[in-house]
Structure 1
Amino acid sequence: MTMAGVSVGLLGLAIVASWWPSRAPGGAASAWVPPWCLLLVAAVLAGLIGGVLSWPALLPLAGFMCLGWLTQEWARSRWPVVVFGAMALALALHAFPWFQRVPVFEAVQLSAGAPSFALFASVDKALAGLGLLVWVCRRCSSLSEVITMLRATVPVLLLTVVAVLGLGVMSHAVHWDPKWPAQAPAFLAVNLLFTCVAEEAFFRGLLQARLTQALGASPLACWLPALVSAGLFGAVHLGGGWPLAVLAGVAGLGYAVAYARTRRIESAILTHVAVNATHFLLFTYPALA
C-alpha cells in the first residue's frame, strides 16, 4: 500500500474514532488526547509524505480545527460557528488547491448502458466531515440512544430508499441491476466515511440543527429547517442536471426527516448510505447514459 493509501485509511479510522468518548475514562481529562486526534495527525503526516497534502494545506486545516474548538469554548457566540461552517464548505468544495484526490479504483463500467465510473477519496471533504462530527454534531453516546435512534430511523430509511429509487426507475434514470462487483467494498467504505458523513454533518448536523435552534419554539421549527437543508442538498447537485437535483432533493428530505426525528447525526448518515448502497448494488450505477 502506498503512503497515499495509508493516509486515506488513517483518515477513515479517525472518522470512526470520533465516536470514541472525548474524555478519558475516570474523568482524568487533563492528559487525555482523543484517539481521533492521534489518527488525524498520523493521516496528515502520511498524506504529506505521500503527496496527498502539500505543506500549505496545514494552514487551512489548523484554522478549521481551531475554529471548531472555538465553537465549544464560545458556545454563546455565533460567529465561530458561521466561519467554521464556511471553512467546512470550502474544504468540501475543494476550494484549497493543496489537497489531492486519491484514486480508489480506475474507471470501470459497473452496469450495462451506464457510463464508466471511477472512485476517488476526497481528503479535504473527509477532513471537513471529521471536524464537523467532532465539534458540532450531536452523536449517540450510549447503547440505549443507539437503539432509540434506530427505532425512529428505520421506517424513514425504508421509505426514503423506496421513494428515491422508485422515482429513479419511473424517470428512467436507473433500472433494476443487482450486482456485487469487486469494487463494492471499497465503494461502500469510501462512500460512507468520505461522502455521507461529510454531507450529513454539514447539511443536517450543522445547518439543520442550528436553524432549528435559531427558530426555537416557533411553529416553523417543525418543518422549515428540514425543507431548507433538503432544498440546498438538491441544489448542490444541479451540476448533474435537474433530474439528479430533484432526486437529491427528495433524498435530502428523507435524510432531514430522519435527523429531525432523532436529533442524532447517525440517523441521517444511515439513511443516506442506505440509499447510496441500494443504488450501487441493486440498480444501474451511476445512471443510464
Structure 2
Amino acid sequence: MILLDGKKTSADIKEEIALEVGALKRNEKKAPHLAAIIVGNDGASLTYVNAKVKACERVGFESTLIQLPEETTEAELLNEIEILNVDNDIDGFIVQLPLPKHIDEQKVLLAVDPAKDVDGFHPENVGRMALNLPTFISATPFGILELLDRYEVETSGKNVVVIGRSHIVGSPMSILLSQKRKVGNATVTLTHSRTQNLEAITKEADIIVAAIGIPEFLKGNMVKDGVVVIDVGITRVADASKKSGFRLVGDVAFDEVAEKSSFITPVPGGVGPMTIAMLLKNTLIANKRRNS
C-alpha cells in the first residue's frame, strides 16, 4: 500500500510555482496577484483564507484579503466583486464559501469574471471543463488529477466509481476522469445517496473517489483488493483520547480500506493540502494568460 501524500506533493508544487514566480520577477514581469473576499466570521473559512494568504507569500505572489462583516448586503458584495473584476492588478480572485444565508450564492458566482475565476466555479468555466477546453479546473478535482499523475496511477481503461455528485467535486471528477486526457480515459460510474446496491458497484471499482461527506462511509467490505482510493471527505468526530477532544476522519474507514488498497490518500494530509496548491497554480495560469 502506497500513501498518496498530498502534503509532500503540494509542497513540491509550491516550490515549482515559486521558481516560476522568481523567473518572472527576474525578467521584470508582474508577479501573480490573488485576492480573496470573505463575508462574516466563520472560523473554518477564516482559517482556510489565512492559509491561502500565507501560501501566496511563500511562493512570491501578491495577495489581497477583503474581509466584510456578516451583515454585508448582497448588493455590497456584488459591488466588491465588480471592483476586482476591473482591477488590472488582480489576476484571479475567490469568494470564500459558504456565504451568509441572506446572500444568493449562485448570483455571486455568476458575477465573477470567468477570466479571473480561479476557483473554477463560474458556469462558463464548468462548461469549458466539460468540453475539455482550456479553463480553470476547480482546485479539489485539479489536485486529485495531479496526485494521480505524479504517483503514476494508471486510469486509462479502469473502472472508476465516484461516490457523491456535488458540483465542486463529484460531478467534475466523473467528467474529468472519463475524458481523453493523460489522467482520464476511465469508465466512470457516478453514485450518490439514491444509488441502489452501492456495495456491489464499489466492489467492482479499480479506483474510488469518496466525496459523500459521511464520516468513514466506505468500509473494507465494500472494496476489492488492489483498489486505489481517493478520500475527499474531512469531518471532526469526538475523541476523548485527544487533547483537542476530536479527531479528523475522511469518508473512508482508513484502517479497514488501507489493508486492501494499492494507493490511498490519508486524512488529513491527502487531498486537502492539494486544494490550496492548485488554487495557486490556477492563479499562475491566469497571470500568464493576462500577460502573454
Same fold flag (TM > 0.5): no
The structure in which a higher percent of residues are strand is 2
Q: Could you state the TM-score of these two structures normalised by the residue count of structure 2?
A: 0.29
Q: Could you state the TM-score of these two structures normalised by the residue count of structure 1?
A: 0.29
The structure in which a higher percent of residues are helix is 1
